[in-house]
Amino acid sequence: MTTTERAMVVHQQEPYNAEPPRSALAESVVTPVGVFYGRNHGTMPRIEPQDWRLQVDGMVDRPLELSLADLKDRFAHREVVATLQCAGNRRAGLMAVRDIPGQHPWGPGATSTARWGGVSLADVLAAAGLQPGATDIAFAAPDVAPEASPPQTYGASISVAKATAGETMLVWEMNGEPLPVAHGGPVRVVVPGHIGARSVKWVERITAQGRPSDNFFQTSAYRLLPADTDLSRTRVGDGFPLTAVALNSDILRPDDHAVLPSGPTRVLGYAYAGDDRGISRVDVSVDGGRSWQQAELEADLGPWAWRFWHATVGLPAGEVTITARAWDTTAALQPEHPESVWNPKGYINNAWPTVTVTACDAVA
Ligand code: MTE
């Protein structure tokens, strides 16, 4: 284990749930595999690559059973740089507004970016021959989630439009290496632009159907419930299913609670908006939003990756709160206050991010 991996913030050992600190994410725009966040609802299954099989069935003309060798031989190899972002990322900021019992207090790190290699799901579905009535593509995995009601294996679904759009992939490579078990190896789904929950790991079955998946993680979890929802009275299907990642950003450097010299300080962060939106502008403030400085956007790694940004701000001596805000290409601005986005499951905190630092004058 490297020093950086040891620095992971572990919310739970089994099932394993852990996030990198801001400093580890800030190191590289493509996140090293060893510090990529891990979000699991059950025990990770261990499947030897040669034993892995994928069933493609449901509303298709030609049901398929594919091995990893079949995927490699029959379909064009593709790569996508894509950010995964858990719907619970930044939940701790919502918990500071009002408690959210029974959920992990994810900080800034339930999001990471990798270069994924594999095949386009569109090509596999074309080989199976999607029937006209199919509206949803469901994914099933073998890991059992005890927290589900009733306990069941993990699953999810996406629309046929997203599944056939080209960017949705079946991947077995992560940053050029074989996909580790912890991230879904031998083969997982990557749905760029959608919340991480739809990128099903250890996928073993893909079903074309005329309705969304009836798996717990599609019908009950990963749905946004309005703030006034009484959780003791919710029913299956309540709330809005979460699909595209909302416009979000965070400050990765300096760290929260850092002690720094006053004066010019480089602030670095990311901004990301899911599906067909890009990032158009990021601002940074050191006076609680009274004045703003426009940040410089760093390299564009394509439509499915977050965008790093940086700005050099003047830190006055004392305790300083640094705030950021991002706009996307639809001219949407992040909401200002976590209070306005609080919800009972603590999903999608995309309020303006802040870190508070102490800036000290140099001693002569
Ligand atoms: N797939 C399976 N089979 N089981 C899971 O628990 N967790 C989902 C998704 N796919 C999950 C899964 C969630 S909630 C997220 S955010 C991402 O995987 C996390 O992927 P990672 O662990 O590679 O970061």
Q: Which two tokens stand for residue 131?
A: 């029937």
The two structure tokens encoding residue 174: 């992560």
Cis peptide before 335 (omega within 30 of 0): no
What values do phi and psi take at 125, rounded to 5?
-65, -35
Cα–Cα distance, 53 to 65 (Å, whole number): 7
Asked whether 301 and 29 are in contact (CB, 8 A), the reply is yes
Cβ 200 under 6 angstroms from ligand 1: yes
For the Cβ of 116 lying below 6 angstroms from any atom of ligand 1, the answer is no
Please name the fold of domain 248-360: Immunoglobulin-like (2.60.40)
How far is 116 from 290, CA to CA, in rounded Å? 41
User: CA 59, CA 206: separation in Å to the nearest integer?
Assistant: 11
Residue nearest to atom 3 of ligand 1 (CA): 201
Q: Where are the domains of the chain?
A: 3-241, 248-360
Whether the CB of 189 sits within 6 Å of ligand 1:
no
Structure tokens at 9: 């913030």
Give distance in angstroms: CA of 77 to centre of ligand 1. 23
Q: Report the separation in Å between the CA atom of 202 and the middle of ligand 1, taken as the mean of its atom positions.
A: 9
Distance, in Å, from the CA atom of 5 to the CA atom of 18, rounded to the nearest integer, reads 10
Q: Is 31 in the pocket of ligand 1 (CB under 6 A)?
A: no
SS3 23: helix
Mutate to test the pocket of ligand 1, among 199, 204, 217, 245 (most ligand atoms within 8 A of CB): 199
Q: What CATH architecture does domain 3-241 belong to?
A: Alpha-Beta Complex (3.90)
Residue position matching structure tokens 């991947």: 171
**Which atom of ligand 1 is least distant from the CA of 196?**
16
Q: What is the pLDDT of residue 7?
A: 86
**Ligand 1 in reach of 80 Cβ (< 6 A):** no
pLDDT for position 327: 98
User: Does the Cβ of 141 fall within 6 Å of ligand 1?
Assistant: yes
Pairing type for strands 263-272 and 248-253 reads antiparallel
Mutation test of ligand 1: which of 10, 46, 86 has the most ligand atoms closer than 8 Å to its C-beta? 86
For each successive 10 residues of the chain (364 residues), what is the average pLDDT?
Answer: 71 98 98 98 98 98 98 98 98 98 97 98 98 98 96 98 98 98 98 98 98 97 95 92 97 98 98 96 97 98 98 97 98 98 98 98 72
Please tell me if the CB atom of residue 84 comes closer than 6 angstroms to any atom of ligand 1.
yes
CA-CA-CA-CA torsion sign (9, 12, 14, 15): negative
pLDDT at 362: 75
* Residue 38, ligand 1, Cβ within 6 A: yes
Residue nearest to atom 17 of ligand 1 (CA): 196
- Cα radius of gyration rounded to whole Å, the chain: 21
Q: Is the CB of 183 under 6 A from ligand 1?
A: yes
Answer for the pair 56, 64: CB distance below 8 angstroms, yes or no. yes
Distance between Cα 40 and ligand 1 center (Å): 5
**C-alpha pair distances (Å), 263 with each of 219, 293, 307:** 51, 15, 26
205-209/53-58 β-pairing = parallel
